[in-house]
């Protein structure tokens, strides 16, 4: 057994692990016997929690996730590591960020990231591990074959927050695009992760996003594009956006620059009539002399009216309308009128 303060113990076990499945669960807390680290189909499970600071309590926390403190591969004042065959379970008693840095410095991939009940609401965490900076740095460690993301709240994709303690949160997206990653909802057995205040956990498969764009032009010079991408990736090139409250919250979370905007309350009912809403966007852009306006999927599956309105639009503004969407099947009813231009 390795005892003592290694500068980064993960480097001692990283070489056989590189390229394999690594689970990272920050703010893991005390398992209470509900979640067994050895049940993960993974070569390495890494948990982190800044509590507790007594060494016998550390054993208890380690054992609460199925660890055996009598069979340690390595231990110190701030970690316990057990090895079973070729597999390892590590519990670090320290700050989530410091543990992430150990993983990165050991050149380990992360293949499953668990952002569950991380203490950002109650539990003393100074940040949310589902926030944009965290997802950015974690997804960068996913291998090219993609990774798995488990969460029960996220200011970015699943906006359950304290406002929703007494009301229903919005339905989580089935598909989402974050930076250049595509997230697709999967349906694993997740009840055992959901111990906390936010309710059930969700699972997303995360892969690199291949963006797709369809373009339509008419004689009156308005160009319309359908873009399978997140509007948040384009705010710097848009003069104005017309979006839902939820989308605006996401823009606030993700974007440094937010262009002139109009927020539509009750998005689904307010945008159901695609002709009426298209005219609304065009008139708003004309009134404000906006050349390029962006919006998000609307029309509830009916989109023919978008082209009807655009065909009769002959004003100087806007020159470009960009409609962004997450669901890759969306706008099928009018795509044949558009030219596919790839990414």
Ligand X SMILES: C[S@@+](CC[C@H](N)C(=O)[O-])C[C@H]1O[C@@H](n2cnc3c(N)ncnc32)[C@H](O)[C@@H]1O
Minimum CB distance to ligand X smaller for 100 or for 324: 100
Minimum CB distance to ligand X smaller for 48 or for 74: 48
Q: How far is the CB of 334 from ligand X (least distance, A)?
A: 45
Q: Which residues touch 287 (CB under 8 Å, ≥6 apart)?
A: none
Minimum CB distance to ligand X smaller for 21 or for 49: 49
> Which has the closest alpha carbon to 228: 166, 268, 180, 277?
180
- Is the backbone peptide bond immediately before 19 cis, with ω within 30 degrees of 0? no
Minimum CB distance to ligand X smaller for 110 or for 226: 110
- Residue 290 zone, left/alpha/beta (φ > 0; ψ -120 to 50; rest): beta
Torsion 322-255-198-95 (CA) sign: positive
Residue 170 in tokens: 């919005």
Residue 88 near residue 98, CB atoms below 8 Å: no
Residue 113 near residue 138, CB atoms below 8 Å: yes
Task: Report how far residue 61's alpha carbon sits from residue 55's, in angstroms, rounded to the nearest whole number.
Answer: 10
Q: How far is the CB of 111 from ligand X (least distance, A)?
A: 19
Q: How far is the CB of 217 from ligand X (least distance, A)?
A: 51
Minimum CB distance to ligand X smaller for 45 or for 243: 45
Q: How far is the CB of 15 from ligand X (least distance, A)?
A: 27
Q: How far is the CB of 25 from ligand X (least distance, A)?
A: 7
Q: How far is the CB of 114 from ligand X (least distance, A)?
A: 8
Other beta carbons less than 10 A from residue 41's beta carbon: 9
**Which residue in the shown chain puts its C-beta closest to ligand X?**
29
Give me the sheet containing 240-244, strands edge to edge: 260-264, 240-244, 292-296, 320-325, 223-228, 212-217, 339-342
Terminal CA-to-CA distance of the chain, rounded, Å? Answer: 52
Q: Which residue has the tokens 């690594």?
A: 22
> Which has the closest alpha carbon to 294: 200, 210, 227?
227
Minimum CB distance to ligand X smaller for 6 or for 95: 95
Q: How far is the CB of 343 from ligand X (least distance, A)?
A: 38
Minimum CB distance to ligand X smaller for 50 or for 209: 50
Other beta carbons less than 10 A from residue 146's beta carbon: 17
Minimum CB distance to ligand X smaller for 11 or for 125: 125
Q: How far is the CB of 119 from ligand X (least distance, A)?
A: 3
Give the interface with ligand X as residue ranges (CB under 6 A). 27-29, 48-51, 95-96, 116-119, 123-125, 195-196
Residue 73 near residue 39, CB atoms below 8 Å: no
Minimum CB distance to ligand X smaller for 48 or for 177: 48
Q: How far is the CB of 312 from ligand X (least distance, A)?
A: 56
Q: Where are the alpha helices (H) located in 205-301, listed in sequence order? A: 245-254, 267-270, 274-288
């Amino acid at each position: 057994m390795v005892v003592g303060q290694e500068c980064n113990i993960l480097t001692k076990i990283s070489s056989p692990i590189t390229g394999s499945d690594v689970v990272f669960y920050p703010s893991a807390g005390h398992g209470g016997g509900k979640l067994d680290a050895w049940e993960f189909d993974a070569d390495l499970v890494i948990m982190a929690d800044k509590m507790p600071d007594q060494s016998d309590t550390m054993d208890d926390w380690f054992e609460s996730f199925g660890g055996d403190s009598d069979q340690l591969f390595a231990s110190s004042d701030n970690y316990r590591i057990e090895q079973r065959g070729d597999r390892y379970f590590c519990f670090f008693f320290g700050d989530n960020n410091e543990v992430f840095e150990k993983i990165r410095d050991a050149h380990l991939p992360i293949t499953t990231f668990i952002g569950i009940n991380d203490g950002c609401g109650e539990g003393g965490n100074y940040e949310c591990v589902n926030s944009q900076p965290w997802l950015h740095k974690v997804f960068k460690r996913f291998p090219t074959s993609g990774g798995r993301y488990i969460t029960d709240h996220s200011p970015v994709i699943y906006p359950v927050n304290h406002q929703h303690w007494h009301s229903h949160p919005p339905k989580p997206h089935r598909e989402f695009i974050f930076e250049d990653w595509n997230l697709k909802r999967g349906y694993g057995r997740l009840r055992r992760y959901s111990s906390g205040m936010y309710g059930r956990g969700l699972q997303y498969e995360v892969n690199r996003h291949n963006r797709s764009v369809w373009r339509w032009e008419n004689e009156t010079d308005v160009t319309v594009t359908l873009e399978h991408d997140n509007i948040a990736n384009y705010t710097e090139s848009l003069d104005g956006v017309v979006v839902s409250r939820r989308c605006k919250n996401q823009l606030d979370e993700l974007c440094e620059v937010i262009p002139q905007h109009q927020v539509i309350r009750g998005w689904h009912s307010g945008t159901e009539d695609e002709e009426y809403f298209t005219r609304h966007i065009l008139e708003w852009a004309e009134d404000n002399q906006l050349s390029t306006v962006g919006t998000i999927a609307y029309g509830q599956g009916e989109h023919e009216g978008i082209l009807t309105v655009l065909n009769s639009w002959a004003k100087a503004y806007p020159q470009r309308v960009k409609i962004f969407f997450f669901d890759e099947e969306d706008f099928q009813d009018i795509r044949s009128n558009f030219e596919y231009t790839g990414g």
